[in-house]
Amino acid sequence: MARMKFLCDAERCIECNGCVTACKNENEVPWGVNRRRVVTINDGVIGAEKSISVACMHCSDAPCMAVCPVDCFYRTEDGVVLHDKDLCIGCGYCFYACPFGAPQFPQAGAFGLRGKMDKCTFCSGGPEPDGSEAEFKKYGRNRLAEGKLPACAEMCSTKALLGGDGDVIADIYRQRVTVRGKGSEVWGWGTAYGPPQAKPAAGSKS
């Protein structure tokens, strides 16, 4: 197997935020922390509005791992970037290093101090025993250990967000692109009703 990756198809994403809700629900993410969010550009411009769902991209050469002063990050055999919250000091360096803004910091303490970092785990928990209550409380659900894919990708209604083995989802995306063509065919009349039919001959019954 290659590496676990997310792939979001901007032509399909309809900004429904179903992935965000699925993530929040599945992992019981605290208030103020968004492991996944939907970013929209050209908002309101007809034909130019694009949305994309963003979370931790589980980088092959992750900058968060490089800058962490306490080295709390590790990468699993499936290429998922995880971290140990028992080591994290909540310094925020990983947030500055990450190009996607994936690391999130819950408020902790009486004055809302920055807590330990929280981020997308590709629904694969953390270093606590798989499926344990401790793992769920710290990192959320471990779906990979249950033979499932991340909830956000599996919940996506338009299948804009794909998750899984990078090679497999790349194949799915490649096939999709070759089938759907480009331009208005992506989302318009042709997709909904098929190509224009030949007009019936004059005098024939319709």
Tokens 């799915």 found at: 172
Residue 189 is a binding residue for another protein (CB under 8 A): no
Tokens 């710290």 found at: 138
CB of 153 to another protein, least distance (A): 7
Q: From residue 90 to residue 109, what is the string marking binding to another protein with x (rule CB under 8 A)?
A: x-----------------xx
Residue 12 is a binding residue for another protein (CB under 8 A): no
CB of 45 to another protein, least distance (A): 28
What is the DSSP pairing of strand 161-165 with strand 113-114?
A: unpaired
Residue 41 is a binding residue for another protein (CB under 8 A): no
CB of 50 to another protein, least distance (A): 20
Alpha helices in 28-155 (DSSP H): 63-67, 93-97, 133-139, 151-155
Region 46-75 residues binding another protein, contact defined as CB under 8 A:
69-74
CB of 98 or CB of 152, closer to another protein: 152
**Measured distance between the N- and C-terminal CA atoms of the chain, rounded to whole angstroms:** 54
Q: What's the one-letter identity of residue 122?
A: F
User: Which residues on neighbouring strands pair with residue 81, listed in sequence order?
Assistant: 75
- How far is 137 from 143, CA to CA, in rounded Å? 14
* H or E segment to which residue 165 belongs: strand 161-165
Residue 77 is a binding residue for another protein (CB under 8 A): yes
CB of 42 to another protein, least distance (A): 27
Rg of the chain over all Cα atoms, to the nearest angstrom: 21
Residue 8 is a binding residue for another protein (CB under 8 A): no
Give the single-character DSSP code of 5. E
Question: Contact positions toward another protein, by CB under 8 A?
Answer: 1, 69-74, 76-78, 82-84, 86-90, 108-111, 113, 115-116, 124, 126-131, 142, 144-149, 153-154, 159, 162-165, 168-169, 172, 175-176, 179
